[in-house]
Amino acid sequence: MSRPRPRTLALGALALILCATPFVPRGGDDDNGAITPSGQAAARPAATAGFGTLTPEAQAEIDRVLAQGASVSASTSARRSPEALAAGLARCAEFEGQRYCLGSGWTQDTPAEVQARVAASARAATTTGRRVPVEQTGDLDAAALLERTAALPAAERAELERAELTMAARSVAKVWLLRHEIQGEPLPDGFLERHPEAQADGTPATTARTAAVGRQSGPADYPEKAVIMRPGRVSSQNRTYWCGPTSMQMIAWGWTGTKSSQGGWARKLGTTTSGSSIWDMVRVTNESTGWDRKSHAGPYVVLDIGDWSYREWKTLLMRHLADYRAPVVLHPILLERFYPYLDDDASGHFQVGRGYTRRPGKPVKISYFEPWNQQRFDPSEPYIERVQWRAAYKSYRGNLAHHQHNIGV
């Protein structure tokens, strides 16, 4: 057999290099060598809890909340007042000492406080039954969410509520770990025995940070910079009300390395001309990507940060990006005072949190993918870049200013 010629060997080596190139992380000022080529990175020790099992106690609580819904369904219609709709639809469940409210997520507020907030926001969104004009980018406001839910047949609504509450019940361990590590809330007795999904090789996941520092973690306990997801895998929304589908497109693109259509994500999210809900953003992230694996973020949850300080909020993002290596579903309201690239105040909105940097003596900045490009729909308005590096404090304020003040983590 003849030996291959040097020219043939050289061509073969070149082909191997070219084939391997797409899998090498790109460097540069944005990623600083920290970008994960795709979500399918090598498995790491668990830093969070995976999905738990549905216990008989949790099942009984879900049945109780659904029974409440059945008793009000006959009087719940889209024509009722915001207060009546909120009381009938924004019901809450208690899972192991943590409260979850339909449509709002995990919260420390009482059910009455949640329902009052939802009703007030729904009333503010309408005037004498008509929608108050505001530049809509695609977040489903309180009035639209209540009306959409109330218009469903009772059986379909109950089925959707059961799915939402079931996912919540199976993710309660992650909520406990976050509040334990970041807010210092003690874990309940027997927590680890009840939640083997919160351990890795017999070691509690929460020790990934807390054991190292001997207390709940803070910003100083994290690397100075963490960035995930390639900056080239970004899109601007094709329709004014598609910030949800476009954010979901970028979240999934970062995991699979494949770009899927915004229309396809709109169907999965149940997006209407009124927009998408934060719950559906979390649901589809769990169902359609691997970011919810225990080696990354674990089950995504909707978390009310209304009682979180800026320091705690920063730590939450750093935990997610540095340890989980997974994106955050940011959920602010787009106001000019928080986002100076806007030409007008706009509605609630979704962005994809994907990095942060902190330097001694300087404000922390976060990086996010921004789907909103106002120039696309009005050529007279300024262009908005897809990849943003902005003051973290302003994003925190934008999150708090949203009536739901929650986030997808």
pLDDT tens, position by position, for the chain (409 residues)?
A: 444 444 443 444 434 333 333 322 223 335 433 454 333 333 344 468 999 999 999 999 999 999 998 776 555 565 688 999 999 999 999 999 999 999 999 999 999 999 999 999 999 887 655 565 678 999 999 999 999 999 999 999 999 999 999 999 999 999 999 999 999 999 999 998 899 888 765 555 554 555 544 467 888 889 999 999 999 999 999 999 999 999 999 999 999 999 999 999 999 999 999 999 999 999 999 999 999 999 899 999 999 999 999 999 999 999 999 999 999 999 999 999 999 999 999 999 999 999 999 988 899 999 999 999 999 999 999 999 999 999 999 999 999 999 999 999 9
Q: Report helix angle 262-269 to 278-288, nearest 10.
A: 110
Residue 130 bridge partners (DSSP): 127
Phi/psi at 49 (5° precision): -100, 145
- Asked if 305 contacts 400 with a C-beta cutoff of 8 angstroms, the reply is yes
The percent helix, strand, coil of the chain (3-state, each to 5) is 45, 15, 45
Structural element, H or E, at residue 352: strand 351-357
Strand extents, DSSP E, 261-312: 302-304
Q: Give the residue among 149, 156, 197, 157 at the shortest CA–CA distance from 177.
A: 197
Residue 304 near residue 406 (C-beta atoms within 8 A): yes
Element (H, E) at 351: strand 351-357
363 vs 366: CA distance, rounded Å: 10
Placement of tokens 């924004």 in the chain: 90
Structure tokens at 43: 């498995």
pLDDT of res. 29: 39
HSE (CB half, 13 Å, CA atoms) of 82?
Answer: 22
CA distance 168 to 390: 32
Which residues share a beta bridge with 126? 131
How far, in Å, CA of 235 to CA of 262, rounded? Answer: 9
Can you give the pLDDT at residue 200?
62
Please state, in angstroms and rounded to a whole number, the distance separating the CA atoms of residues 142 and 402: 11
Residue 362 corresponds to which tokens in the numbers above?
């300087």
Please state, in angstroms and rounded to a whole number, the distance separating the CA atoms of residues 311 and 183: 10
How crowded is residue 268: how many other Cβ atoms within 10 Å of its Cβ?
Answer: 18
User: How far from each other are the two terminal CA atoms of the chain, in whole angstroms?
Assistant: 60
Neighbours of 27 (CB within 10 A): 11
The amino acid that residue 54 corresponds to is L
Distance CA 220, CA 277 (A): 33
Residue 406: per-residue pLDDT = 97
The closest of 362, 307, 306, 299 to 329, measured between CA atoms, is 299
The 3-class SS string of 61-109 reads HHHHHHHHHHHHHHHCCCCCCHHHHHHHHCCEEEECCEEEECCCEEECC
